[in-house]
Amino acid sequence: GAVVSQHPSRVICKSGTSVKIECRSLDFQATTMFWYRQFPKQSLMLMATSNEGSKATYEQGVEKDKFLINHASLTLSTLTVTSAHPEDSSFYICSAARTGEQFFGPGTRLTVL
What span, in angstroms and rounded, lies between the C-alpha atoms of 94 and 6?
A: 8
Q: Which of 20, 110, 33 is nearest to 76 (CA)?
A: 33
CB of 7 or CB of 82, closer to other proteins: 7
Query: Interface with other proteins includes 43 (CB under 8 A)?
Result: yes
Query: Interface with other proteins includes 75 (CB under 8 A)?
Result: no
11, 13, 28, 46: which one contacts other proteins (CB under 8 A)?
A: 46
Contacts of 83 (CB under 8 A, 6+ apart): 16, 17, 18, 66
User: Residues in the site for other proteins, rule: CB under 8 A?
Assistant: 4, 6, 32, 34, 42-46, 49, 60, 91, 93, 95, 97, 100-102, 104-107, 109
